[in-house]
Amino acid sequence: MKLQQIQCTSCGAPIEWDGKYGQPVKCTYCGSVFLPAVTGREDVWLMTDVVARARYEFEGRLDKLEQDIRFEVMRGQDWSALDRAYAAEINRLETEGVVRKLATFWAISPHPSVYRALRDGELNLKGNRIPFKKGDDIVWACPMTRDRFNLDWPVLIGDFQDQRTQQLCGNMANAMMGRMR
């Protein structure tokens, strides 16, 4: 069994964990008992499209996706301040009718929702203004996506029908499928 390293929620000591959610773990340093969750259970799904999540649940693979998000996407850390800023901003823009959520989600974990800009606007990520144009598609970008597209911010804005985008996404989706198996 492959062990993963997590932190004790009380004292922060490193603990080897067998990756089984829902089973209490006892810290060998301070003795406290806790349920492993580097990030709160609901918080893990911050970036995941509800339809994508429901699909994994239907297929009985939700645990796999949760694990992938925690350890491959979040790398055992919490969401960054910029990630949270993106989540808040895209909700604000949707509420204000500047963007609308499309009936599609990003091909790779954590399968964030894809939005389309209904008019010109901007995302404000901790004081950094990131403009978009009417008709642009907008999606949260995981570290892997950031690397592939050389992004400065955790957001990909552009034409997702574009050949280059499709090809890059195809490559990433394949890499992802390999890991999920």
Which residues are near Zn ion by CB under 5 A? 8, 10-11, 13, 27, 29-30
Nearest distance from C-beta of residue 37 to Zn ion, angstroms: 15
- The distance from CA 65 to its chain's CA centroid, rounded to whole angstroms, is 10
Nearest distance from C-beta of residue 19 to Zn ion, angstroms: 19
Q: List, in order, residues 6 or more apart from 149 with CB less than 8 Å away.
A: 141, 156, 168
Residue 159 near residue 136 (C-beta atoms within 8 A): yes
Cβ closest to Zn ion, residue 11 vs residue 173: 11
Nearest distance from C-beta of residue 36 to Zn ion, angstroms: 12
Nearest to 133 by CA among 155, 118, 115: 118
Cβ closest to Zn ion, residue 38 vs residue 156: 38
Cβ closest to Zn ion, residue 21 vs residue 29: 29
Nearest distance from C-beta of residue 40 to Zn ion, angstroms: 18
Residue 15 near residue 33 (C-beta atoms within 8 A): no
Residue 140 near residue 155 (C-beta atoms within 8 A): yes
Structure tokens belonging to residue 118: 């209904």
Residue 89 near residue 110 (C-beta atoms within 8 A): no
Cβ closest to Zn ion, residue 33 vs residue 177: 33
Torsion over CA: 171, 150, 134, 132 (sign) = positive
Cβ closest to Zn ion, residue 28 vs residue 128: 28
| Neighbouring-strand partners of residue 132 | 121
Nearest distance from C-beta of residue 28 to Zn ion, angstroms: 8
Nearest distance from C-beta of residue 78 to Zn ion, angstroms: 18
Cβ closest to Zn ion, residue 3 vs residue 11: 11
